Amino acid sequence: MGTLDDRFRIGQGGAYEFDKDTNISIDQSLRAAVRFRPIDVTLDTTNTVEDAINLESLPVYTVNTVKNPSFEHATPATGWTADASTLATGSNQRTGTNSLSITGDNSAAGEGAYYVLDNDVGSTGNKPTIVIASFYAKRASSSGDTIRVEITNSSGTSLANGNTITLTTSYQRTVAFYVIPLGTTFDDGRIYARTTTQHGTAVEIDDVQVEYRVGRSSATPFVWGDGGVDCHWVDPANPTTTESYRQTPLQIIRGFSLEVTGGDLLVALDNQAKASFTAVETGATSASVLIKSGSTWSTDQPINLTRNISIVNRVSGETPRIQGWVWGLV
């Protein structure tokens, strides 16, 4: 099996977007990256303050090393092996159009399915690498019965157990963490979806994720190549056989071009938009700016926003929409 590239090990060489050239030059490491991000937000309640973009809430960079993690490409069970269970395509998906349905044989606890990770990952230096595995699970109707994610070695021996989920008709996430001891490797490990009680309920799982991180022990939001803004396949031409990643988020806004339609908006930069336009008109303390419907607000010189762009309705009954682009640094 292949050795995991350091770009997959977040916190150790993982601060750059994927490139065909795995060598990062001095020039590349010093040059500020530029990122563009679309904005499209519609307000439908008067005086409701909302962020058109909040830099602090953008998901962080990560790599999901599970291939076909949302079961959208090829047969959903591809890459998965039944363990005292029957596998089928599920239709109660969390994202996309498919999920994986697992029905245990109802002979004992510990039934389910597993996925083999085709990476060899080691812990080097003075900080260990942490394996973070997760998936979401539910049942089609009713509630009860349990399942959890487990990280095992290549023989199926458990190394770490995730939180146990009591199944309902809503998706819940189970997450497991395994710290690879320094000086050792995690070779061809497995990710299990295992029942913790005996039952034959059909369980649907979706959005499977495995991250390798250094210095961080929390799971990030699920990412797959078709997941929208910031999400990509490592090899876009072969989405069925490749990992996916979320690129480094925008951290500093240096400019924007924003169009407002459907009603007037009050906009604030690195601040909270003021809900009362009268206060703005009379010179009260507020960072809000009135953008009339049909107008475009653009920057003609570099700015330096590090928090948010906040918006609020101007007139009752209107549904203003703000669209456009922001750009800046990562």
Query: Left (φ > 0), alpha (ψ -120 to 50) or beta: where does 74 sit?
Result: left
Do 254 and 67 form a contact (C-beta atoms < 8 A)? no
Taking the CA of residue 302 as centre, how many other CA atoms within 13 Å lie in the half-sphere pointing to its CB?
7
Question: pLDDT tens digits, residue range 81-114?
Answer: 999 999 999 989 999 999 999 999 999 999 999 9
Dist CA 194 CA 157 (whole Å): 13
Dist CA 303 CA 291 (whole Å): 18
Q: Which of 264, 321, 253 is nearest to 55 (CA)?
A: 253
- What is the distance, to the nearest Å, from the Cα of residue 255 to the centroid of all Cα atoms in its chain? 25
Dist CA 56 CA 256 (whole Å): 18
Question: pLDDT tens digits, residue range 31-77?
Answer: 455 788 999 999 887 667 889 999 999 888 999 999 999 998 777 67
Do 111 and 145 form a contact (C-beta atoms < 8 A)? no
What domains, with CATH codes, occur in the chain? Answer: 32-59+249-329 (2.60.120.10), 62-246 (2.60.120.260)
Q: What's the predicted TM-score (pTM) here?
A: 0.79
Model confidence at 15: pLDDT above 50: no
